[in-house]
Amino acid sequence: MVLSATMLRLALSFLFVASSLAHAAVPALLQEAIAKLGKDTDRWAYTQTTIQKDDKGKPKSEIVMRFDPSKPYAEQYQVLKIDGKEPSESQVRKYRRMGEKRGERIDKAEATGVEPPAERKSLGELMDLERATVLTEDDKVVTYEVPLRKEGNSRFPPEKFTVTARINKEQKAFENVSAKLRAPIREKLIVKISSGEGQIDFKTVDPKHPPQFSEIKGTGSGSILFVPVGRTYEMRREDYKRVKPYGDRFDVQIGTLKALDF
């Protein structure tokens, strides 16, 4: 359903803005946390489980896959289980193609020095980080509210969404990022989103490196052609392993991509 997928992408895409940040006006703690995360996004292999449930909490789909950026691009996304079963040949090919497309983008960015333009702007590109304000603060953590830009933003109307980021002061790293729909929104006249929220929780995988995200949740309710619907998305990442990116095999450094293909 459009609703929960939108909220999940909204929360997830915050992670991929780091490569374009260099604004002195961005709060120092927020900027440092983003820089830490962006530097590490392509150096971890992990197992990812994505579960989608209906409005009664009944599982609709479950996908388990392994992502390993140290392998050749066609092998980086390895689907392990789909709804508890071994993947079919066509499903395996789909994930191989996902890795190939990722490699094509990276190779093009390496050759031109410019990342290919995205089909649409990510949340990170739409966030007005220079206008982030402190929402709450204590001795251990600070939570920022980050407004969205109006210009070129047809996906996430600023008046409809609230985005917050909680940062650990000692680690200077994210603990949680959340996005919440605060007013109903209609998409293409046939889909109405009445409520929804998404959040990312982070965990320390290795004390020598910044925390990585451990769980993403997206929930919401609304209607399609006036028929009430609701969905819940859960994405967990575990079994982290530090690796050397395949793109660095010739000691070539590339920029952080703003989005991943899943």
Considering the domain boundaries, does residue 99 fall inside one? yes
Work out how many domains the chain is built from and give that number: 1
Considering the domain boundaries, does residue 154 fall inside one? yes
Taking 50 as the pLDDT cut, the residues of the chain under it are 1-4, 7, 15-23, 189-192, 223-228, 251-262
Taking the C-alpha atoms of residue 168 and residue 255, their distance in angstroms, rounded to an integer, is 26
What pLDDT is attached to residue 259?
A: 35
Q: Is 94 left (phi over 0), alpha (psi -120 to 50) or beta?
A: alpha
Taking the C-alpha atoms of residue 48 and residue 140, their distance in angstroms, rounded to an integer, is 30
What pLDDT is attached to residue 63?
A: 94
Residue 170 tokens, joined = 């000692």
Per DSSP, what are the bridge partners of residue 229?
A: 222
Taking the C-alpha atoms of residue 2 and residue 192, their distance in angstroms, rounded to an integer, is 9
What pLDDT is attached to residue 73?
A: 95
pLDDT 10s digits, 50-99: 998 877 778 889 999 999 999 999 999 999 999 999 999 999 999 999 99
| Residue 183, CA distances (Å) to 160, 172, 243 in order | 5, 32, 42
Considering the domain boundaries, does residue 246 fall inside one? no
Considering the domain boundaries, does residue 159 fall inside one? yes
Task: Tell me which residue range forms the domain holding 191.
Answer: 2-240
Q: Are 122 and 17 in contact (CB under 8 A)?
A: yes
Considering the domain boundaries, does residue 257 fall inside one? no
Residue 103 tokens, joined = 């490699």
Considering the domain boundaries, does residue 260 fall inside one? no
Considering the domain boundaries, does residue 256 fall inside one? no
Q: Are 97 and 105 in contact (CB under 8 A)?
A: no
What pLDDT is attached to residue 144?
A: 94
What pLDDT is attached to residue 94?
A: 95
Q: How many CB atoms lie within 10 A of CB 246?
A: 19
Per DSSP, what are the bridge partners of residue 141?
A: 168
Considering the domain boundaries, does residue 261 fall inside one? no
> For the whole model, what pTM was predicted?
0.75
